[in-house]
Amino acid sequence: MEEIMKTAMLLCILFMFGSGLMALSSTTNTAIFSLDTVDPVITIQSPNGGEEWYIGDTNDILWSITESNLAPNSVYIYYNRGGTINVPLAEGIENLGTWAWAMPDTLGSNYRVRIAATDTFGNSSLKSSAGTFTITYVPPETPDGVSVDITNNVDAIISWDPVSQTIYGSPIEPDGYIVLYNESPYEHDDHFYYYLWDVTDATSFTHSGVARRRQQMYYRVVAYKDIDGRMAEILAEAKTRPDGKISFAEIKAGMRNRED
């Protein structure tokens, strides 16, 4: 009887041990996976510094992103003007590498583009243009047919042909013309030509009494497009100067300074 009990206990122990082996052998292995901890690498090809883009044009922003796990529709494009405020251009778009940008109507020489992207692991990058670029306007062509009439020996009547295109031949209607004068023929030196008056509704100007006071006088006429009223401000300030003199070089410098 004792022998039978020992045999039964041994069989029970073997059964329990065998069940444990079966339980252990029934476990499954998880699949091997990798964890991405590297941020996307963004390269901006254009604009990347030094470009001069014109108001009214459309230019392509070009970029590339090195990232095998880039999330879908995770590209964001911004621009700024030298500060920390990013103005959205495109949000949640595909990584196409190009986006057409219609130029804003704000002149400036300190623009940058910024592009952000995120991968499926939550890694993100923000890349800025390497340098600043300029947004300006295409200036009108120089007026042709400038002539001076002093037949009455008193006044100088300066007249010119109307301008209808930019320096690149595209159509334009100038907002006005600046008449410049100098007593010496410094034809190409903007420092020696001074503002005489601006004309917005005609293609002629009368320099009253100049023929009685001066032996000679030279004139230039410049067409301008006043995109945001800045030229009007500069010319209004020039008229308040005690000496009444502002050179064409100063006018252009004033426009550049106001762009920044």
Q: What is the pLDDT of residues 52-79, one digit of tens each?
A: 998 888 999 999 999 999 999 999 999 9
Whether 229 is in a domain gets the answer yes
CB under 8 Å to 245, separation ≥6 — which residues?
194, 195
Are 196 and 229 in the same domain? yes
Are 177 and 237 in the same domain? yes
Distance CA 100, CA 62 (A): 9
Distance CA 207, CA 216 (A): 13
Distances (CA, A) of 232 to 44, 152, 241: 37, 32, 15
Whether 104 is in a domain gets the answer yes
Centre a 10 Å sphere on the Cβ of residue 87 and count the other Cβ atoms it contains: 11
Half-sphere exposure of 64 (CA within 13 A, CB side): 2
Domain boundary among 111, 136, 161: 136
Are 126 and 203 in the same domain? no
Closest Cα to residue 81, out of 46, 61, 105, 116?
105
pLDDT-flagged residues of the chain (< 70): 1-34, 186-188, 257-260
Are 155 and 237 in the same domain? yes
Domain boundary among 85, 111, 136: 136
Edge to edge, the sheet with strand 218-224 lists: 194-199, 176-182, 218-224
Whether 34 is in a domain gets the answer no
Centre a 10 Å sphere on the Cβ of residue 62 and count the other Cβ atoms it contains: 15
CATH classification of the domain holding 221:
2.60.40.10
Q: What is the pLDDT of residues 89-110, one digit of tens each?
A: 999 999 999 999 999 888 888 9
The structural domain count of the chain equals 2
Are 157 and 70 in the same domain? no
| Encoded tokens for 180 | 């410049």
- Residue type present at position 186: Y
Domain boundary among 113, 136, 159: 136
Are 129 and 159 in the same domain? no
Mean pLDDT computed over every residue of the chain: 86
> Domain span at residue 79?
41-136
| Encoded tokens for 136 | 């300006």
| Encoded tokens for 157 | 């009547």
